[in-house]
Structure formats: C-alpha cells, structure tokens
Structure 1
Amino acid sequence: MICKDGKGAMMDNGKYVRYTPEQVEALERFYHDCPKPTSTRRQQLIRECPILSNIEPKQIKVWFQNRRCREKQKNEASRLQSVNRKLTAMNKLLMEENDRLQKQVSHLVYENGCFRQHTQNTTVATKDTSCDSVVTSGGQRQSTPQHPPRDASPAGLLSIADETLTEFLSKATGTAIEWVQMPGMKPGPDSIGIVAISHGCTGVAARACGL
C-alpha cells in the first residue's frame, strides 16, 4: 500500500484504484467521524452510501490507511514548522543578547583599563609625595640649629635674661643698647645694670631719651 493524495490508492496486488470527487467527499465526511473504522463499520459505510457500492471493503480499508498517513504527515509538518518558528525567534533573541553582552564586556574592559591607569597614576604620585616629604623632613632636620648648652647657674640665668631683653628691645625699637655694670658691683643676681643708649640711634628708646 502506497500513500496517495486521496483521489486514488495503489493496492498490494498492483491494482490502482481511482476515486471520484463525490466518493472522496463521502469518505472524508466519514473519516472526520471515525478515522479508524472497523471492518463492520466499513461494510456499513458501503451499504449506507450507494456512491461507494462499487468499491470493495479492502479498498475502503486502504483509503483510510492512506488518509491517516497523510494526516500524520501533515501534523508532523505543522509541528516541525511551529518548532522551527520558535527556534528562529529564540535564535534571534540569543543573538541580540549576545550582542548586548559583548558590548557590556567591551565597556567593562574599557572601565577596567581606566581604573588600572588611574590606580597606577595615584600610586606614582603618592610615591613622589612621600619622597619629597622625606627629603624636606631631612632638610629641616639638618637646618635646625643646635643650641649649645646654657649655664643654669643664677649668673647664667641672669645673662640669658639680659640677652633676651636686649634682643627684644633692639628688634622692637631699632635702638642699639648695651648693659653697663655699675662701678663697685660684682656680677651676680643682685647686680644692677643700666641701659646705655648709643648716640646717633633713631629708635623709640633713643627718641624717648632725647637722642
């Protein structure tokens, strides 16, 4: 038995049977009601449809077999077309998602490069600043004057006070002054000194003394 287009069928003995359009229409109506009729139902169909009276029951059986085969092929083709449409749509979505991910990866690679460059620049700048700080600190330590130890005795403390006052008055008034030990007095904490203002000075102290 070979499947045909519904208008005819090849029998096992090689005999080809062709159906008229009216016979095909009658068989199609019965097929929708009963796609797989039994032998009894096929004989009943022949009796109820005079247009099929010249067709043998075996030929009717072959027609239904071919019709089921065509229906199966049609359903399978429809299913494959539906699957193909779904796969095509899915493939399109995957391609779009792939493009989006590639753009995102490219953007992340660019941002990573910028971040690394910024980190390297920051590290170099930090190292340079640290070196400058070390050099500056070293220079400051080297330029800091070292004061010699001072005399902590009463006479030494008095001498320090005299020097400090002299320096202060000189800077504040612009007057050159010096301490003069009074005659008959020994150096010491009880000694009395007087301020000798140089002539020709123009400081505040000099003007106050009428010089």
Structure 2
Amino acid sequence: MSDSSTTRAQGAGFGAAIGAGLGAIVGAATGDTEKGALIGAAVGGVAGLAYGDHVAKKKEKYANQEDYLNACIAEADKRHRATKVYNDKIRNEIAALETQLQEAETLAASQQSNADQLKTLRNTLAKSIEQSQQMMTQVTDEITIQREVLANESGSGSSDRLEALNQEIAKLEEQKAQLEENTRQLAALNNRASA
C-alpha cells in the first residue's frame, strides 16, 4: 500500500472510531446507542477519509515540490560549477593573451613585422569574447529561470530547499559578475590589439 493510500485509510479508520464514539454518546442521550454509533461511524469514516485524502495530497505535493526544488538546486549548482570552470580558464587565457599582446607591442615598437602575430591574436580574442558572451547569455537565462522558480515556490513551506536555491542563485550571480569582468578584460585586450 502506498503512503498516500495508507494515510487515507488511517484517516477513514480514525474518523470512523471517533464518529462511532461520538455517535454512541449521542445515541445514549436519545435512547438508541447502537444506531447512534453506526451513524457516527459512517459520518466519521467519510469525514476521516476526506481529511486523510487532504493530508495525502499535501504529502504528495510536498514530496513532488521537494524533488522539483532539489532538481532546480542541482541545475543551478551545475551551471555555477560550469561558469566557475570557464572563468578560471578564461582568466588563464587572459594572462596568456596579455603576454602575447605585450610581445606584439614590443615587436611593433622595434619596427619588426608582426602583422601575422597580431592577426592571430585578434582572431583568438574575438573567439574568446564570443564564447564569453554565449556563456553570459546562458548564465543570465539560468538566473532568470531560477529566480522565477524561487518566486513561484516561495509560499510552499519548504524553506530549507528555497534557501538552498537562493544560495545557488547568489553563487551564480557571483560567477556572472566575474564573467562580466573577464569579458571586459578581453574587450580591452582586443581594443589594444586592434590599435
């Protein structure tokens, strides 16, 4: 028997027992204890079943909501980790590109031919900027989706899961800010390489 069926059966049984007891008391007062107990058991059973059904539905919703929120938290965490990895990678790439650009600028200052090196560097920068902008779109979309989930589920009563989701959103926003800074640095390098 499933948990929801058990809850409904327990509600009906408990309601019938309480109803029978109350019916017997009312029946004793009217002179027909047996009939009062039967009527009370029937009414109590129906009322108990209705209450049990209500509790079972609430449990099912809570379990499904927990699963839903857990899935949202996992997705936000996954996006946070992917963005963090990307930010770490792009920081290293920025440092390498900075070194290459300084070398190209030194060559240009000494009047040596560096057109090929600068062209390669500009292509690399353009590709990195495009990837960063795509990642920014993905992170922004994820934050928007998770904020909508948080707003829609805020009255659900699952405060620990909602707080966990809120924390994941905050982590994503931190990574987004770092990604914005990395993208600005790439754009600045691109401007220098194009000058």
- Using structure 1 for the length normalisation, give the TM-score: 0.33
Higher relative contact order (CA 8 A, sep 6+): 2
Larger-gyration structure (1/2) = 1
- Which structure has greater strand proportion? 1
- Using structure 2 for the length normalisation, give the TM-score: 0.36
